[in-house]
């Protein structure tokens, strides 16, 4: 398969695509400015250079497979090298099965014309496996340098790596606090620090941080996990404020309950539980809209958002009643 596009060619194409996407999604007048997307919508994934950190299972794996079918050039990272290679092989098979660089998914009524356009574009390289542990000094930088040597830049970097332990307050330990915060928060912030100079030099590109609805407000058993995700939500907001004027998009992904190895630890019925494939579909739809926050499923996340408007006495009472804890 042919390699990724060169830097100059990719920069010219991406700048053109960004302008076209913004124009297409920009209604006129004051109302248009109010409801315009906060990020440049991403609809065409053909040849997009996407690095997913935390891709060996769950949401990260499902998102990688979905983007592979749509023709993205993928690099995947996780701690487990063996499992990571298996996911990379599955992505290559998914891309090959699509039959086109960007797959058949999402083609419009003008499908013959789109197929001709896609067939003329360079095919993505094979999915790259870059094992790393965000909690270890220097690993994200080494992986970044290896990827830049191959690609020359990034179009989207997704930080999905994280951990979760269901803990009540009396089960807190120093080890659990450090492990969770080191990976969920410090690791992600360090990862952003590692890739941001490249994005700023490009003057374009996007970051996506995977948070959680557990970061909206205090919930039982999310004693450390919830605060780590609340901090990540705040971090994403700050990034958007600083980076949007510099041409860098920032997406915040806040899932509800998704059936993953981490949520399998829960010993309670998880409302509005979704599969990783459903989560990946919701994320791709959010990218296409240019949303800052991509939260799902809406029937669950909107309820949690509304709860934050309640007085604390009412909030605590409703959460206790809903959870039985």
| Enzyme catalytic residues | 225
- What Cα–Cα distance (Å) separates residue 66 from each residue in 273, 285, 309? 20, 11, 36
Chain Cα centroid distance, residue 39: 14
Identify the three-state secondary structure at position 318. Answer: helix
List CB contacts of 27: < 8 A, sequence separation 6 or more. 35, 36
Separation of alpha carbons 32 and 74, rounded Å: 34
Residue appearing with tokens 């080890």: 175
Burial-class residue 305 by CB neighbours within 10 Å (0-12, 13-18, 19+): middle
Return the SS3 of 297.
coil
User: How far is residue 181's CA from residue 188's CA, in Å, rounded to a whole number?
Assistant: 10
CB neighbourhood size of 44 (10 A):
20
Collect contacts of 314-320 with beta carbons under 8 A, ≥24 apart.
Answer: 315/217, 319/217, 319/218, 319/219, 319/220
CA dihedral 134, 258, 305, 54 (to 10 degrees): 10
Question: Is the bond leading into 297 cis (omega within 30 degrees of zero)?
Answer: yes
Residue 127 DSSP SS3: coil
The whole-angstrom separation of Cα 156 and Cα 143 is 15
Q: How far is it, in rounded angstroms, from Cα 77 to Cα 252?
A: 19
Query: Rounded distance, CA 94 to CA 70, Å?
Result: 9
| Token digits of residue 19 | 């302008």
């Amino acid at each position: 398969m042919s390699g990724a596009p060169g830097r100059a060619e990719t920069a010219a194409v991406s700048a053109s695509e960004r302008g076209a996407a913004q124009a297409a999604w920009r209604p006129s007048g004051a109302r248009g400015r109010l409801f315009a997307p906060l990020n440049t919508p991403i609809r065409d994934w053909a040849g997009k250079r996407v690095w997913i950190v935390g891709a060996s299972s769950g949401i990260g794996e499902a998102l990688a497979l979905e983007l592979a079918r749509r023709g993205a050039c993928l690099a995947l990272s996780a701690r487990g090298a063996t499992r990571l290679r298996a996911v990379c092989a599955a992505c290559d098979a998914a891309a090959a099965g699509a039959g086109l660089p960007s797959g058949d998914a999402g083609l419009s009524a003008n499908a013959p014309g789109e197929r001709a356009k896609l067939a003329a574009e360079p095919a993505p390289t094979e999915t790259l496996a870059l094992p790393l542990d965000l909690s270890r000094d220097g690993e994200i930088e080494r992986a970044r340098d290896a990827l830049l040597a191959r690609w020359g830049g990034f179009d989207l970097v997704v930080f999905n790596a994280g951990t979760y332990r269901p803990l009540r307050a009396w089960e807190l330990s120093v080890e659990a606090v450090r492990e969770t915060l080191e990976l969920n928060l410090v690791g992600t912030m360090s990862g952003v620090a590692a890739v941001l100079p490249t994005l700023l030099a490009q003057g374009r590109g996007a970051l996506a941080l995977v948070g959680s609805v557990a970061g909206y407000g205090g919930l039982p058993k999310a004693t450390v996990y919830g605060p780590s995700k609340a901090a990540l939500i705040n971090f994403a907001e700050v990034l958007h404020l600083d980076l949007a004027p510099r041409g860098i998009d920032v997406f915040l992904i806040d899932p509800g309950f998704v059936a993953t190895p981490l949520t399998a630890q829960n010993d309670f019925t998880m409302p509005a539980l979704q599969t990783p494939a459903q989560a990946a579909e919701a994320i791709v739809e959010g990218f296409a809209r240019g949303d800052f926050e991509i939260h799902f499923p809406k029937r669950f996340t909107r309820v949690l958002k509304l709860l934050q408007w309640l007085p604390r006495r009412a909030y605590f009472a409703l959460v206790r009643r809903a959870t039985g804890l």
